[in-house]
């Protein structure tokens, strides 16, 4: 088991427990989530070349990407649907972990990392929705800011730090853009790599 | 006797690699088109128009930024043919003296005032200036009242 604590050997393991090869044990839900994350990273990077955050520029640039820029519609739809898929697979992944009691020791730390990842993914999903810049996103941003404002003392500052100052007509702000495109994905990626490494560290996937 | 196929796992995986590389090659052309697109570049709000205008002529298109110009006895005016409902480009029909939106059938009269359909406002009029050589400069970022002339 010594070589399994090395990250390089994690990518190209010397051996894999035969039980870990069963698809029906995990349904590959974590792997599917990571695949969706990779698709989101690539398509998201491409969208950044043409997207401009801002109250009216956000929505207008989405319209331009979706209807004028060559292949922009494909890239935007890949990003959108991979995002929807990831939220579904991440939740199913969590259900599977509960079902097989995989949160129990020695995997309790990895369960907590997974919970943190779930929160990050949901916030990525929400900020992506705000960046569409539609009136619906403006309403969603307003609700989020108003809820945060209820926290005594910290609320207003927290709302500014997380969402900037979205208007009621568009949730697209520079602050949301930076969280969605840079800060959250980087933290999520680092946590995911740790999450994967931790699986083998804790003894790998084993049949019930 | 046909040779028996020898599909080892290794052979299938090698074929899969070829498929992945071929599929990746197919994305090069779309990616180049996507990344080199200039469609979202901000255009200048200024439109130049140097063709002569006759007094009491009908609307003439500048063919740029949806701007149309016209001259009457009071002077030159410019209109932007963008529907005030949802932003489609409206077309001018000189035989009917009407502007028609193809998207939701809004109709505007010759002055750009809405006469039927969902359009809430008149087509926007924009400022016109004339350079010393007679070329018209239309500033699409500067809206003016309907009666304004150069």
Question: Which pLDDT tens digit goes with each residue over A17-28?
Answer: 777 777 888 888
Does residue A15 have a pLDDT over 80?
no
A146, part of any domain = no
Whose CA is closest to A84, among A134, A141, A126?
A: A126
Q: Measure B127 CA to nearest chain A CA, in Å.
A: 23
Whose CA is closest to A204, among A19, A7, A3, A14?
A: A19
Cα Rg of chain A (Å, integer): 20
DSSP code for B105: -
**Assigned token pair, B70:** 């016209």
Q: CA angle B115-B117-B119, nearest 5°?
A: 80
DSSP code for B98: E
Cα–Cα distance measured from residue A32 to residue A38, given in angstroms and rounded to the nearest whole number = 10
B26, part of any domain = no
Cα–Cα distance measured from residue B59 to residue B70, given in angstroms and rounded to the nearest whole number = 5
Which domain covers residue B115, as residue numbers? 46-144
B97, part of any domain = yes
A155, part of any domain = no
DSSP code for B59: -
Question: Which pLDDT tens digit goes with each residue over B99-110?
Answer: 999 989 999 999
pLDDT at A14: 73
Residues 6+ away with beta carbon under 8 Å from A10? A4, A196, A197, A200
| Cross-chain residue pair A71–B39, CB shorter than 8 Å | no
A80, part of any domain = yes
Q: Which alpha helices (DSSP H) does chain A contain, by range? A: 7-11, 23-26, 29-48, 57-67, 72-99, 108-131, 135-149, 155-163, 174-178, 184-201
Question: Which pLDDT tens digit goes with each residue over A47-99?
Answer: 999 999 998 899 989 988 998 899 999 999 999 999 999 999 999 999 999 99
B112, part of any domain = yes
Residues 6+ away with beta carbon under 8 Å from A132? A58, A59, A62, A171, A172
Residue reference for tokens 């989020």: A144
Average pLDDT in chain B = 88
A36, part of any domain = yes
Cα–Cα distance measured from residue A73 to residue A64, given in angstroms and rounded to the nearest whole number = 9
Q: What is the value of pTM for the model shown?
A: 0.73
Q: Read off the CATH number of the domain in which B116 is found.
A: 2.102.10.10
pLDDT at A1: 47
| Cross-chain residue pair A69–B31, CB shorter than 8 Å | no
- Chain B residue with minimum CA distance to A70: B34
Q: Is A71 on the interface with B (CB under 8 A)?
A: yes
Cα Rg of chain B (Å, integer): 27
Question: pLDDT-based confidence at A4, cuts 50/70/90?
Answer: low
| Cross-chain residue pair A72–B34, CB shorter than 8 Å | yes
Greater pLDDT, A3 or A14: A14
Q: Is A57 on the interface with B (CB under 8 A)?
A: no
Q: Is B41 on the interface with A (CB under 8 A)?
A: no
Number of domains forming the structure of chain A: 1
Residue-wise burial string across A164-182, b where 16 or more C-beta atoms lie within 10 A, e elsewhere: bebeebbbbbebbbebbbe
Q: Read off the CATH number of the domain in which A95 is found.
A: 1.20.810.10
Are the C-beta atoms of residues A148 and A159 closer than 8 Å to each other?
A: yes
Cα–Cα distance measured from residue A26 to residue A18, given in angstroms and rounded to the nearest whole number = 13
Cα–Cα distance measured from residue B88 to residue A62, given in angstroms and rounded to the nearest whole number = 17
Q: What is the largest CA-CA distance in chain A?
A: 56
Residues on chain A touching B31 (C-beta within 8 angstroms): 46, 71
Cα–Cα distance measured from residue B147 to residue A46, given in angstroms and rounded to the nearest whole number = 46
ipTM, interface predicted TM-score of the complex: 0.82
The helix-helix angle for A72-99 and A57-67 (nearest 10°) equals: 100
Helix (H, G, I), strand (E, B) or coil at B15: helix
pLDDT at B1: 65
Q: Is A68 on the interface with B (CB under 8 A)?
A: yes
A56, part of any domain = yes
Where is average pLDDT lowest: B14-28, B61-75, B89-103? B61-75
Residues on chain A touching B35 (C-beta within 8 angstroms): 46, 49
Q: Measure A75 CA to nearest chain B CA, in Å.
A: 9
Which domain covers residue A63, as residue numbers? 2-12+23-133+188-201
Question: Which pLDDT tens digit goes with each residue over B28-86?
Answer: 999 999 999 887 776 678 888 888 888 878 899 988 888 999 988 888 999 999 999 88
Beta pairing class for B107-108 and B98-100:
antiparallel
Write out the H or E segment, with its range, that includes residue B5.
none
B149, part of any domain = no
Whose CA is closest to A54, among A177, A154, A198?
A: A177
Cα–Cα distance measured from residue A142 to residue A136, given in angstroms and rounded to the nearest whole number = 10
B87, part of any domain = yes
Are the C-beta atoms of residues B33 and A49 closer than 8 Å to each other?
A: no
B51, part of any domain = yes
Number of domains forming the structure of chain B: 1
A vs B: CB pairs below 8 A? 32
| Cross-chain residue pair A72–B37, CB shorter than 8 Å | yes
A37, part of any domain = yes
A44, part of any domain = yes
Question: Which pLDDT tens digit goes with each residue over A102-154?
Answer: 898 889 999 999 999 999 999 999 999 999 999 999 999 999 999 999 999 99
């Amino acid at each position: 088991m010594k070589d399994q604590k090395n990250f390089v050997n994690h990518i190209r393991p010397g051996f894999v427990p035969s039980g870990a090869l069963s698809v029906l044990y995990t349904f590959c839900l974590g792997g599917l989530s990571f695949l969706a994350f990779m698709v989101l990273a690539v398509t998201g990077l491409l969208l950044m070349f043409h997207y401009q955050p801002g109250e009216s520029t956000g929505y207008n640039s989405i319209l331009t990407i979706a209807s004028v820029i060559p292949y922009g519609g494909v890239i935007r739809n890949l990003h959108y649907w991979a995002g929807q898929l990831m939220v579904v697979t991440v939740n199913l992944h969590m259900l599977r972990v509960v079902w097989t009691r995989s949160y129990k020791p020695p995997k309790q730390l990895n369960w907590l990392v997974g919970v943190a990842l779930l929160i990050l993914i949901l916030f990525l999903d929400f900020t992506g929705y705000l960046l569409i810049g539609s009136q619906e996103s403006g309403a969603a941003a307003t609700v989020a800011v108003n809820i945060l404002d209820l926290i005594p003392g910290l609320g207003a500052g927290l709302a500014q730090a997380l969402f900037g100052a979205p208007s009621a007509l568009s949730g697209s702000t520079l602050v949301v853009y930076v969280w969605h495109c840079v800060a959250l994905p980087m933290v999520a990626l680092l946590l995911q790599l740790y999450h994967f490494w931790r699986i083998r560290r804790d003894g790998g996937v084993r049949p019930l | 006797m046909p040779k028996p196929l020898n599909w080892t796992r290794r052979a299938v995986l090698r074929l899969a690699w070829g498929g992945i590389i071929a599929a990746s090659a197919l994305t090069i052309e779309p990616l180049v088109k996507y990344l080199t697109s200039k469609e979202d570049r901000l255009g200048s709000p200024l439109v130049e128009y140097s063709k002569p205008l006759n007094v009491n002529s009908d609307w003439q298109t500048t063919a740029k930024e949806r701007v149309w110009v016209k001259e009457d006895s009071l002077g030159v005016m410019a209109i932007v043919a963008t529907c005030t409902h949802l932003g489609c480009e409206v077309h001018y029909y000189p035989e009917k003296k009407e502007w028609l939106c193809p998207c939701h059938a809004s109709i505007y009269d010759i002055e750009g005032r809405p006469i039927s359909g969902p359009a809430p406002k008149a087509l926007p009029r924009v400022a016109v200036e004339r350079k010393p050589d007679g070329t018209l400069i239309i500033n699409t970022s500067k809206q003016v009242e309907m009666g304004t002339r150069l």
